Amino acid sequence: MKLQFLMLGLEASSALKSVYAASDSKATPYFPIPTNAPKTWVHPGVFVSGPQLDHIAKRIEARENPWTEALDSMLNMSYISPTRTAEPYETVQCGPTSTPNIGCYQEREDSMAAYMNALAWWITKDKHYAEKSIHYMDAWSSTIQGHNNSNAPLQAAWSAANWVRAGEIMRSSYEHWSKKSIKTFSDMLRHAYIPIIEDGAPQKNGNWELVMIESTIGAAVFLEDAALYEKSLELFSGRVPAYIYLTSDGKYPVQGRGGINTTAEIIKFWHNQKTFPISGITQETCRDFAHTSFGISSISHIAETLRIQGMDVWRSTDVGARVKAALELHTALDSKEKPIPKWLCNGTIPDTMNPMLEPAYNALAFNLGHRMPFTKNMSRSGLAVLPGSITTGVAFGIPPLLHYAEPQLQERFLLDLLVERKRICIAITEPDASSDVANITTTATLNYASMAVRTGGENSGGKGISLILVPLKDHPGVTRRRLKIAGQIVAGTSFIELDDVRVRPENLIGRENEGMKYIMYNFNHERMFISRKAFNKTLMEQPVVRHRLAKCGAILEAQWSWVESFAYQLSKMPKETADQELGSLTALCKANAGIVLDECARCAVLLFGGNGSTRTGKGEIAEKIYREVPWARIPGGSEDVLLDLAIR
């Protein structure tokens, strides 16, 4: 996981030259490389600069968002805990799929903790954060000797990328980080990290080499090593066009290093993608979107470091065009705004994108003014993206297991869930029952989602619900598919189908038929009382529902009557008289129409429950109207302007 802030971009340029050619053309220039390293190094200058950090600090001092919410979220993470301590290893050993995993997790987490504490120090000026950041860097730099096993280069790159960011911030801002410690930290970079990542990985998937380049460019800035900087940029200049395709490259993607030259070799390397009719396809698109996110993320981070050091590749090269095309394509497909075409990855793409949009979107949309509607839509949920994709399942799925499951069930799953070796969700909403738990129709008979099912009789209502832990991945009878929803689109909301699924009896969470109590403990009680049918009463039998509908009906009828009155008066009055007599009232009417629409649409979504957030099924129309409410309230004058105009 990489922490990212929405930053204010700066601009710069540099002298460049061009190299690298497409696989079906002759010496066509694609991506320029710098002739020299910076004449003057900028510190801090890896991913974020001093002016950017100062800009954030000022915004937070004024309690503005999203900066304040971002800081609050970061300060609540375990990485920032004052009781957390470093766990350095002399040799970090990381194999495929984390086997073996000796120090790998600890190194990545400690490097992230160093970076987060460094950010917190700069923003808050609280010395406790500064000392904590130095604690992590000193502990590892005085211990680690190197990395081995198959994933060593990737592991070293992931960690070094964070170390150099933390080191840049602390050396530039905290005078109590001793020269001796800084030298030890520099030696750690030179001996334990750079040797195994500086030559790149041309035959590996692109996210490997790109994060390796990200790390060596960052290390070169920290060490002011011009030779390493230029070597890393040469690798970058070759890998970017060989990772993100533009139609201007030709019929097939640009050749990379490593002997991948023929059309057949390129197709195989691009995970058997055979045709390239549009820009934005990446070398890992048909592998999965998660790894694609890693690759695009590293390109963005490198581009930001280069910009700070005086070369704005977003403007002066085709990096911006490639990243823009990749982000727009992948966010459109990932959010289901566009269907996956059959020619792309055989019409199926596993996994979803990771939260990594902000740096590139900031550079391309805010600084350069590019229109990126799909990227914008996916990033609009802001800070909800990270908790939506990482913590929602934990927050909803773990509590029943933690509070009510038998010890043996907790021992089987809790540790893996808490350290995210396994993921969990909670399955409640049904197409018909929606979020009305008392009327769930899925049944279970005694014979990893914690799932609410009916174990009582047909009319048992809330008293016949049980919670059962059901494995999802590759479990017989279980199928899953993504659901298009209104918000938090990266949260992975899914439709799960159960067809004669068998699970072990000991997977029952708590007591049979007491699941309703466990669910009520987990959710806000109000949610149960606005359901379509709750506790064996129909929707219209619930007083709170009738009240909501009556309120909507009253304001809607009043608005309709007001509009008809205006229409009648406008048809009878001369235009000059109407302009004088009805001008302010017209403004009020228009403003009130938006308020009424918002209230009625909100009520409809609430009454549909979980179905009200889906873009298909019974709640589709309610969700669609509610999604369009903000845009319906803008044309013809924003609400605040109209209300002000009416009073004037």
Query: What's the pLDDT at 410?
Result: 84
The domains of the chain, with CATH numbers, are 391-536 (2.40.110.10), 542-647 (1.20.140.10)
pLDDT at residue 160, as a whole number: 98
**What pLDDT score was predicted for residue 121?**
98
Question: Beta partners for 509?
Answer: 467
| Structural contact between residues 285 and 349, judged by C-beta atoms closer than 8 angstroms | yes
The residues with which 453 forms a beta bridge, in sequence order, are 466
Q: Looking at residues 207-230, what average pLDDT do you find?
A: 97
pLDDT number for residue 563: 87
C-beta separation of 493 from 482 below 8 A = yes
pLDDT in tens, 287-328: 999 899 999 999 999 999 999 999 999 999 999 999 999 999
Please state, rounded to an integer, the average pLDDT across all residues of the chain.
Answer: 81
How far apart (Å, rounded) are the C-alpha atoms in residues 80 and 119?
10
At 538, the pLDDT band (50, 70, 90 cuts) reads low
128-171 per-position pLDDT tens digit? 999 999 999 999 999 999 999 999 999 999 999 999 999 999 99
pLDDT of residue 617 exceeding 80, the answer is: no
pLDDT score of 592: 87
Model confidence at 8, pLDDT cuts 50, 70, 90, reads very low
- Per-residue pLDDT at 2: 37
CA-to-CA distance for 208 and 202, rounded, in angstroms? 9
Q: For position 479, what pLDDT does the model report?
A: 84
Q: What is the pLDDT of residue 639?
A: 65
Strand partners for 434: 430
How far apart (Å, rounded) are the C-alpha atoms in residues 185 and 279?
42
104 burial level (CB within 10 Å; 0-12, 13-18, 19+): buried
Burial class (CB in 10 A: 0-12, 13-18, 19+), 563: middle
Distance CA 431, CA 614 (A): 10
CA distances from 200 to 80, 196, 217 (A): 32, 8, 12
pLDDT of 485 reads 58
**Predicted local confidence at residue 640, as pLDDT:** 65
CA–CA dist 114, 119 (Å, integer): 9
User: Which pLDDT score, from 0 to 100, does residue 28 have?
Assistant: 37
pLDDT class for 382, splitting at 50, 70, 90? very low
Query: Is 542 or 154 the better-scoring residue by pLDDT?
Result: 154
CA 589 – CA 228 distance, rounded (Å): 66
Q: Tell me the C-alpha distance between 279 and 294, whole Å.
A: 19
Higher pLDDT, 479 or 620: 479
Asked whether 584 and 648 are in contact (CB, 8 A), the reply is yes
Question: Which has more confidence, 190 or 470?
Answer: 190
pLDDT of amino acid 636: 47
Beta-carbon contacts of 150 under 8 Å, excluding residues fewer than 6 positions away, are: 94, 95, 96
Tell me: pLDDT of 227 over 70. yes
Burial class (CB in 10 A: 0-12, 13-18, 19+), 555: middle
Rounded to two decimals, what is the model's pTM? 0.62
Does position 597 have pLDDT exceeding 80, yes or no?
A: yes
Q: What is the DSSP letter of 254?
A: B
Tokens 């290390």 sit on residue: 219
Confidence tier at 3 by pLDDT (50, 70, 90): very low
* pLDDT computed for residue 454 by the predictor: 55
Report d(CA 113, CA 575) in Å as an integer.
68
Percent of the chain with pLDDT over 90: 46
In terms of pLDDT, which residue wins out, 431 or 418? 418
More confident residue, 634 or 385: 634
Residue 120 pLDDT exceeds 50: yes
- Given pLDDT bands bounded at 50, 70 and 90, which one contains residue 376? confident
pLDDT band at 48 (very low <50, low <70, confident <90, very high): very high
Q: Where are the beta strands (DSSP E) in 276-371?
A: none
pLDDT of residue 648: 65
pLDDT-based confidence at 124, cuts 50/70/90? very high
Question: Of the ranges 353-357, 388-392, 396-400, 644-648, which one carries the lowest mean pLDDT score?
Answer: 388-392
- pLDDT for the residue numbered 413: 83
Q: Closest Cα partner for 115 from 209, 208, 48, 197?
A: 48
Higher pLDDT, 73 or 191: 191
Residue 45 confidence (pLDDT): 98
**What is the per-residue pLDDT for 512?**
83
Bond prior to 341 in cis (omega within 30° of 0): no
The whole-number pLDDT of residue 386 equals 47
Structure confidence at residue 591 (pLDDT): 83
* pLDDT one-digit tens code per residue, 29-41: 345 556 578 999 9
Q: Is the confidence at residue 212, as pLDDT, over 50?
A: yes
- CA 277-279-284 angle, to 5 degrees, is 95
pLDDT at site 457: 59
User: Per residue in 239-276, pLDDT tens?
Assistant: 999 999 999 999 999 988 877 889 999 999 999 999 99
Question: Contact, 271 vs 207, CB < 8 A?
Answer: no
